[in-house]
A and B are shown apart, each in its own frame.
Chain A
Amino acid sequence: MNWFLKGVRKGVRTEKTPSDVAPWSTELQFKGIEEESGVTSESLRCPTSAIGPGWIAERCVYCRRCYPHYQPTGNHRMGVVKRVEKRFQRSFYLYPIDVGTCGACNTELRLIASPQHDLTRFGIFFTNTPRHADALIVMGIMTKGMREAFRRAYEAMPEPKLVIALGACAISGGIFQTEKIEADVVIPGCPPSPYTILDALIRAKGGRGW
């Protein structure tokens, strides 16, 4: 059968609202067993010092050692948007650059294009060159080999431009405890789920999130 008809026959598979999120990629919250002040990164053996005071989203790699003191809430809207660029409201082109990932951020970012999420309905698109990009999505730890490429990509982009750091490695060095990358939009998670990514991207261009 013709592929077009095959596609039509499958029907619309795009989700109106986020529906199925893996718990250990969402916000963690203290579920009082003891006093919260008594629970620290040291006492929970948190590998990235993501506890205390409270839960620090940017550092968390979801190793679950803090369980059951901290438990997932199911809230995926963890992205922090420091700068909103309203000019990208209708068309927001992303250039992803992997500076040292494990590959999970890459696939999760790729999956925002899956029919369930469908980034294009929000006016978000991928581009293959920084020349056409509005935002640079950087993921992974900053490795020696990729530092130069990252700089070039940033310089190749036209103004105005946003830098979006995706995943714990880029934001805080993650489990590898390396340098953090300065960014206008920070998307926590290890890796961040497609919901978290899309929500932050929509808010970065002046939307209300997803």
Chain B
Amino acid sequence: MVALIVALLMLGLSPVAALINRRSGYIACSAGSAVFVYYGMTNYSNELSLFYVAAGLVWLFTSVYSLYYDHHRWLGPLYTSSILGMAIALTTNNLLVFLAGYEIMTIPAYVTIGLYKKTDYSAFVFMGFGELSTILILAGFLYSYVVTGSLSFSPLTTITPFMIAAFGFMVKMGILPFMVTEWLPIAHGNAPSNVSAILSASMTLVAVYGLTKMALLTPRPDLFGFILLGVGGFSVFFGAFYAYVSDHAKVLLGFSTVENNGAILTSIGVYLTAPTHTLASFSLITTAVYVLAHSLAKTGLFLDTGMMENEYLILPRILKNRLSDVGGVLLASSMSGLLPTVGGVATWALLESLFMEAYTLHSALSIIPIVTGSIIAMGEGFATSTMLKFIIFAHIFNKRSSNEKTRPLILLLLGLLILAGGSATYIFYRPFLASNPALGLPFGLIASEFSSQPFGAISPLYVLILPSLIGALVIAVFGKPRIRRSEVWNSGAPLNEAYTSFAYSNNIRLMLGKLLLTHIGRDGVKVVDVFWSLTHTVAKLFISFSRHFSRTYMNSRLSWYVIYMILALIVFTVVVVA
């Protein structure tokens, strides 16, 4: 408990410190985050504690990185207050304090996005959806208060509060209103890299945390659980799909966040619908591990984009060297769900839990997890290609190198953490482990157990050890390979233009043209995000309505109305905190 108070104090001090001196603010924030991680590890109670570790690590790495990145006067205070808000939301047990923390984390983000791009558009998009999220969560919490008569998170007898709040959290996760919405990539893509990192990695984590916490307090809702499961699978597919056809590095990562949040939602769906206790606990672990994997890898990748001079992958101009190359590849492989990284474990565990569910349900309902699993597997295919595209065009094909050591080192450390984390999560969480002496495999070499039977694949530790062992053996037997360097063969012509990242994913633009409404014109290929255009249409209707409304009743400018809304919310949160 002392650790928590110290952490919150330090985080609370950091915005003030940042106002006076940027560096001291970031240092205070880093220290606070480190203590927060310590708190999460020492006070481990259930899977939710892993959220603390994940969030703390994100803040820690991002804050240290910010020491070498920040270039705006207001960024420091805003960034640190946002983190403070998250810390409050994560650690409180009071509904209103949670909501206050939620707002404290969100409001500085609007301002940062507004400052960064100097255009209202992205900031307003973020604000609009941020407030929609808050309103839904508030409604859910109020309902909870009505039912239980308590302002704390307390067990519920009805699922309605959970359902309402879940919609709110899903908006924050980028999944609602239309399964996949471009608001999250637009917002996250238009922030400075360190803010993008905490937006995408830990702000959505807070939403997942809220959702999980509510889920733990709610009776098992069968139908709604299946809905979440299916919606999650849908988001995985479309998130990955749109990420694949995005060329803006940060927008790509934003869509990837939607994809990952979809996977987490599916995992929560499995938890809610699991027919057995074993499966429920397995899926809860899956959720936590997925959160950890996504937070760390996404942080690293966003920090990587902070070293780009141009945010478009067509012309990445990223400052890179061997350190960040290795770090980036590790992060990207985790993001694409490859073993032996944490991301690999998470993806594997998710698909595994879906198959287990289908197996245990043993009814017509089994079709839901099976179909969702297949959709997720397809989405993961896109995710792998997306990450491949990111890493190829940012690192492998990119020839610019820099001597900078610090920021690449942070990236490498994150990468190594993710690599080590793969095997660590696995050994740490018992249900992931099983052995099969009959197959001659000792403890832990076959993953997951079900009904005392091994159920699943080969462990990440095994994947880690085997190639290294084989590689070492080959070198031991044949010696160091002889390498001859020669020019790249380009049908006899010198190398001219390189393949672009846009061209890399254009096959899908053409093949799935019906889905993307691909239009080929004189100026190139254009695709339409169907979900975004739907959102846009609704938004336009809403704007014309509110314009009519404001002209008639408020007789003032729309922007004033928006400012009024922000102020009202700040006042509201201050009152609540007080």
Contacts and interface: CB of A to CB of B under 8 A. Distances in A.
Interface centre among B489, B493, B494 (most CB of A within 10 A): B489
Contacts, number: 24
B291 to A, nearest CB: 45
Contacts of B484: 158
Q: In the complex, which range does the number of interface residues on chain A fall in?
A: 10 to 19
B489 A131 contact: yes
A129 B491 CA distance: 8
B490 to A, nearest CB: 8
B363 interface: no
Contacts of B487: 152, 155-156
Contacts of A97: 492
Interface centre among B486, B492, B494 (most CB of A within 10 A): B492
A156 B486 contact: yes
Contacts of A129: 489
Nearest to B491: A149
A153 interface: yes
Contacts of A130: 489
Interface in B481-526: 484, 486-487, 489, 491-494
Contacts of B489: 129-131, 152-153, 156
Interface string A140-161: 0000001011101101101000
A131 B486 CA distance: 10
B492 A153 contact: yes
Contacts of B491: 149
A148 B484 CA distance: 21
A137 to B, nearest CB: 14
Contacts of A146: 492
Nearest to A131: B489
A136 B290 CA distance: 54
B181 to A, nearest CB: 46
A157 to B, nearest CB: 9
Interface centre among A129, A148, A152 (most CB of B within 10 A): A152
Nearest to A159: B484
Nearest to B484: A158
Interface string B373-414: 000000000000000000000000000000000000000000
B493 to A, nearest CB: 7
Nearest to A149: B492
A124 to B, nearest CB: 22
A173 B484 CA distance: 34
A153 B493 CA distance: 10
A138 to B, nearest CB: 12
B98 to A, nearest CB: 61
Contacts of A150: 492
Interface in B34-59: none
Nearest to B493: A149
Contacts of A156: 486-487, 489
A148 B494 CA distance: 9
Interface centre among A97, A130, A150 (most CB of B within 10 A): A130
A70 B420 CA distance: 81
A152 to B, nearest CB: 5
Nearest to A99: B492
Interface in B238-273: none
B576 to A, nearest CB: 68
A37 B486 CA distance: 52
Contacts of A148: 492-494
Nearest to A151: B492
A150 B489 CA distance: 11
A146 B493 CA distance: 9
Nearest to A157: B486
Nearest to B489: A156
A160 to B, nearest CB: 13
A149 B492 CA distance: 4
A150 B494 CA distance: 12
Top-5 shortest CB links A-B = A149-B492, A156-B489, A152-B492, A131-B489, A153-B492
6 contacts: A97-B492, A148-B493, A148-B494, A152-B492, A155-B486, A158-B484
Given A149-B492, A152-B489, A152-B492, 7 more contacts: A129-B489, A131-B489, A150-B492, A152-B487, A153-B489, A156-B486, A156-B489
